[in-house]
Amino acid sequence: VPVTMDQCIVHCDAVRRGAPNVFVVGDMPFMSYQISDEDAVYNAGRFLKEADMDAIKLEGGTRVASQIKAIVEAGIVVIGHIGLTPQSSGALGGHKAQGRTSKDAAMVVEDALAVQKAGAQMLLVEAVPPEVAQYIADTLTIPVFSIGAGKECDGQLLIVSDLIGQFQAFTPKFVKKYCDVATIITDAMKAYCADVREGKFPEDSHCYHMKDGEKEKFLALMKK
């Protein structure tokens, strides 16, 4: 939530420079689009003008339909995000699955339909039962991607730091860790610190020595 537009622009620009031929999406931060349609269009435009993004993503369904419509009408590709919306998780009772009762599921579907009607070209559904996500994917005409919403969608998404095990404090239920980078990094740093303390690093092979005969000349120069 504390992330600013300027911070997002800097990071997105770095990603674009590192991946010039990849479809890259700018994730609009909290309060960069909620206040008004005008703010939403202006900030969405910044992602394209200043960071060369191909599209933007924003969270919310019916409550941000107006903003989505305005951004799309400005000629910007929009990806919607419904279900568990992390930026407003406090209003949802925390980071927990959405749509687990029939009434709540109907509200998630309502959000999905609102996002599509507003003109979004793609939709991300997070932490929603697969039964609900499949219904949404079967009903909508735009691509539907799942992050913790089962495998019956058009595509899958996971946060890289989660799937490589970089962040250890909390792992969502829907994440599968494919490696344990945090442990690898921690072990490497511990070994490095131990080698430094014990005088094992650097070794001679890690050093740049003076050319033959230059050490003596150097010491002689220092005596003058």
CATH number at residue 49: 3.20.20.60
The one-letter amino acid code at 197 reads R
pLDDT in tens, 135-162: 999 999 999 999 999 999 999 999 999 9
* Residues 213, 125 share a domain: no
Which pLDDT belongs to residue 147? Answer: 98
Give the span between the Cα atoms of 213 and 222, in whole angstroms.
Answer: 15
* Residues 149, 82 share a domain: yes
Which pLDDT belongs to residue 141? Answer: 99
126 is catalytic: yes
* Residues 113, 211 share a domain: no
* Total domains present in the chain: 2
pLDDT in tens, 18-76: 999 999 999 999 999 999 999 999 999 999 999 999 999 999 999 999 999 999 999 99
Query: For the chain, what is the mean pLDDT?
Result: 97
What is the reported pTM? 0.90
| pLDDT (mean) for 2-22 | 98
* Residues 199, 113 share a domain: no
Put the strands of the sheet holding 155-156 in their side by side order. Answer: 25-27, 55-59, 78-83, 122-126, 144-147, 155-156
* Residues 196, 118 share a domain: no
* Residues 207, 121 share a domain: no
* Residues 191, 122 share a domain: no
Q: Is residue 148 part of a domain?
A: yes
* Residues 114, 54 share a domain: yes
* Residues 122, 44 share a domain: yes
Q: Is residue 171 part of a domain?
A: no
Tell whether the model's pLDDT for residue 95 goes beyond 90.
no
Q: Is residue 163 part of a domain?
A: no
pLDDT in tens, 162-181: 999 998 888 899 999 999 99
Name the percent of the chain lying above pLDDT 70. 100
Task: Tell me the C-alpha to C-alpha distance, in Å, between residue 164 and each of 27, 79, 160, 179, 182.
Answer: 21, 25, 6, 5, 8
Residue 199 belongs to domain spanning: 183-223
Tell whether the model's pLDDT for residue 91 goes beyond 90.
no
Which pLDDT belongs to residue 167? Answer: 87
Q: What angle do CA 17, 20, 26 make, to 5 degrees?
A: 75
* Residues 128, 26 share a domain: yes
Q: Is residue 178 part of a domain?
A: no
Catalytic-role residue among 50, 73, 110, 126: 126
Q: Is residue 170 part of a domain?
A: no
Q: Is residue 166 part of a domain?
A: no
- The residue among 150, 117, 147, 122 whose CA lies nearest residue 135 is 150
Task: Decide: 153 and 146 in contact? Cβ < 8 Å.
Answer: yes
